[in-house]
């Protein structure tokens, strides 16, 4: 026992409270199910009420749940639900149980038997053959379980045990005689509040574990003597109480569970933030590898809209439609492509929750938006990483940064993980360069900052000092360096380029000539020049770029079009055929698209062409489907 805890009796922390004794259900191999009542789950002393044979669930896997429910997965895959009313099992239609589902086979196999558990909220956590961690709950209205994969690489654990609402203990039998880890997951915000916290060792001593909640664990040993031991963990102090032997005779062949909502330890969980409506945000443009241009934006009615245009020279090839489901989104839609060229998106709801959807096929339909948690005051952003997976990033109300990884290429997005930090705000700009995803965001003082996400860690936020900025930045990769374009608080467009040693200058270059009323967008053209577009104070979109490749002198600003004013900031994209385009929306929520063409006769030199800029061809696209 000294491998886990010091011997002798000790007590739980004073914040843990229990509504009564631990009700323990033990299903014996002879078909008898017995109820035991341990009367001191807080102190862990060996005090018991009388036991009784109560019938009910037996065989397969037993899972204690909230509100008196006990679930039983039979070897044939039937998923049964029983309800304990305190003195017996309720009857439903003349039976003690309801069969909720079929096909849940395999959980009686030794390697999976301890890889499924239920918590104090009635959520089911499981590690099936794919090695991921899944969470599910039973939707009574739909008559089925709703399941989501929330993590990867749990296949090394041979036992998981819930000990509170979202509190999961996991055992790796191959490390230190059974290394125990603690996780804390919040299903509402879909955030990991704690991941893989390393606890004590030697837990291979136990053949099974169960919990009444409140970070209290009971373990019954693998040896035929069948000792039952009690433990309590206090996360705030990283300390254990217990190792108390409550008795013997708990045969390893017994299937044992408890009601996990008996005890609780106070836990602070995230709350939805206050979201300020951010109407008429820029469209997110993504150029698909099949040559199509994809559009994503929040419409004036709060719907999340996706568009596909097969040919940017043919406006009639564009199709727009609002996604089904939630219709109160705001801010800019985060979107990017999977490895197979289907798309993923996330949109922020006015309730502070992000919602996502993944395209069914390339240029195909979109399922209804589903909850993706987050709890951010501004919209998240997405990036397509160099390994082919999609990663989302969000900034919380305290200025901390979170990321949401994908299970694998073309897989589902999992759950939010903290990257720490503070004082940054808004929707981050994401730029992929090699194995690094650069994040750019404003801090609370109006300074743009940049941080590098590599693997699963985020560097410190480096200030891009020299201006007081506003809005969001745009950035492009030029060779081995980044160039950032933004607007300062006077309405001047500014740009800054990274030094060759990866440091940053202490001043920005001003691109004067107009007063910007929004955030600029930059695109690296096929010829290697950086073109910039921005919404000016007169309501039109203007463009500039270098007078020659590599020059730091910029052409005079020229209007993309003076036919229709914009109500949104512009967006740019470079298509696979080398054409670059500008898009924005007007007061009628119509999408306009302009493609850049050569401005000067072909007889002129390249330097002359650059100094004259571009002509833009295009106009309004078809209205979205109702």
What's the rounded Cα separation, in Å, for the pair 485 and 446? 15
pLDDT at position 90: 97
Taking the alpha carbons of 146, 148, 153, 157 in that order, is the dihedral positive or negative?
A: negative
Q: Cβ distance 372 to 356 under 8 Å?
A: yes
Q: What is the DSSP letter of 626?
A: -
Q: What is the DSSP letter of 6?
A: -
Give the number of other Cβ atoms within 10 Å of residue 468's Cβ. Answer: 13
Token readout for 200 is: 């004590």
Q: Cβ distance 472 to 493 under 8 Å?
A: no
pLDDT at position 548: 86
What's the rounded Cα separation, in Å, for the pair 561 and 540? 7
What is the reported pTM? 0.93
Low-confidence ranges of the chain (pLDDT < 50): 1-11, 600-611
Q: For 477, phi and psi rounded to 5 degrees?
A: -95, 120
Task: Specify which residues 448 forms β-bridges with.
Answer: 442, 464
Give the number of other Cβ atoms within 10 Å of residue 481's Cβ. Answer: 15
SS3 for 533-570 is EEEECCCCEEEECECCCCCCCECCCEECCCCCCCCCCC
Domains and CATH numbers, the chain: 17-264 (2.120.10), 289-426+445-454 (no CATH)
What's the rounded Cα separation, in Å, for the pair 68 and 80? 14
């Amino acid at each position: 026992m000294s491998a886990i805890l010091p011997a002798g009796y000790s007590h739980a922390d004073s914040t843990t409270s229990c509504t009564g004794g631990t009700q323990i259900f033990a299903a014996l191999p002879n078909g008898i199910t017995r109820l035991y009542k341990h009367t001191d789950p807080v102190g862990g002393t060996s005090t018991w009420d009388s036991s009784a044979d109560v019938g009910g669930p037996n065989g397969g896997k037993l899972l204690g749940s909230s509100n008196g429910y006990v679930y039983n997965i039979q070897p044939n895959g039937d998923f049964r639900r029983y309800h304990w009313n305190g003195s017996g099992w309720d009857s439903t239609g003349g039976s003690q149980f309801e069969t909720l589902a079929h096909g849940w086979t395999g959980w009686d196999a030794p390697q999976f038997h301890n890889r499924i558990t239920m918590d104090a909220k009635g959520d089911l956590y499981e590690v099936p053959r794919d090695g991921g961690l899944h969470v599910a709950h039973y939707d009574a209205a739909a008559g089925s379980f709703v399941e989501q994969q929330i993590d990867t690489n749990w296949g090394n654990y041979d036992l998981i045990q819930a000990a509170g609402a979202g509190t999961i203990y996991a055992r790796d039998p191959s490390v230190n005689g059974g290394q125990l880890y603690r996780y804390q997951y919040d299903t509402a915000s879909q955030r990991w509040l704690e991941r893989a916290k390393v606890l004590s060792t030697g837990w291979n001593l136990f053949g099974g574990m169960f919990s009444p909640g409140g970070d209290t664990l009971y373990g019954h040993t693998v040896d035929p003597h069948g000792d039952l031991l009690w433990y309590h963990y206090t996360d705030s102090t990283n300390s254990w109480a217990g190792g108390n032997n409550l008795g013997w005779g708990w045969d390893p062949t017994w299937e044992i569970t408890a009601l996990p909502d008996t005890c609780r330890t106070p836990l602070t969980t995230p709350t939805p933030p206050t979201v300020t409506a951010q109407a008429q945000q820029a469209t997110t443009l993504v150029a698909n590898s099949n040559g199509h241009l994809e559009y994503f934006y929040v419409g004036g009615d709060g719907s999340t809209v996706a568009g596909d245009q097969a040919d940017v020279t043919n406006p009639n090839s564009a199709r727009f439609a609002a996604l089904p489901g939630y219709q109160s989104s705001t801010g800019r839609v985060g979107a990017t492509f999977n490895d197979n060229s289907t798309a993923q998106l996330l949109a922020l709801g006015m309730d502070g929750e992000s919602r996502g959807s993944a395209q069914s096929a390339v240029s195909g339909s979109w399922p209804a938006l589903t909850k993706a948690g987050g709890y951010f005051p501004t919209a998240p952003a997405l990036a397509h990483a160099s390994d082919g997976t999609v990663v989302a990033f969000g900034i919380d109300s305290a200025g901390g940064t979170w990321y949401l990884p994908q299970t694998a290429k073309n897989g589902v997005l999992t759950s939010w993980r903290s990257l720490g930090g503070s004082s940054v705000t808004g929707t981050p700009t994401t730029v992929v360069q090699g194995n690094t995803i650069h994040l750019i965001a404003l801090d609370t003082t109006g300074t743009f900052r940049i941080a590098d996400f590599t693997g699963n860690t985020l560097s410190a936020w480096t200030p891009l000092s020299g201006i007081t900025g506003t809005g969001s930045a745009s950035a492009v990769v030029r060779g081995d360096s980044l160039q950032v374009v933004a607007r300062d608080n006077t309405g001047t467009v500014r740009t800054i380029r990274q030094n060759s040693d990866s440091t940053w200058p202490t001043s920005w270059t001003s691109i004067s000539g107009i007063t910007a009323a929004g955030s600029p967008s930059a695109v690296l053209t096929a010829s290697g020049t950086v073109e910039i577009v921005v919404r000016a104070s007169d309501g039109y979109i203007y463009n500039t770029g270098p007078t020659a490749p590599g020059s730091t002198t910029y052409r005079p600003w020229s209007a993309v079009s003076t036919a229709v004013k914009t109500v949104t900031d512009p967006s740019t994209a470079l298509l696979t055929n080398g054409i670059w385009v500008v898009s924005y929306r007007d007061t009628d929520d119509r999408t306009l698209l302009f493609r850049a063409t050569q401005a000067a006769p072909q007889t002129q030199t390249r330097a002359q062409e650059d100094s004259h800029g571009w002509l833009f061809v295009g106009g309004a696209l078809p209205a979205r489907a109702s």
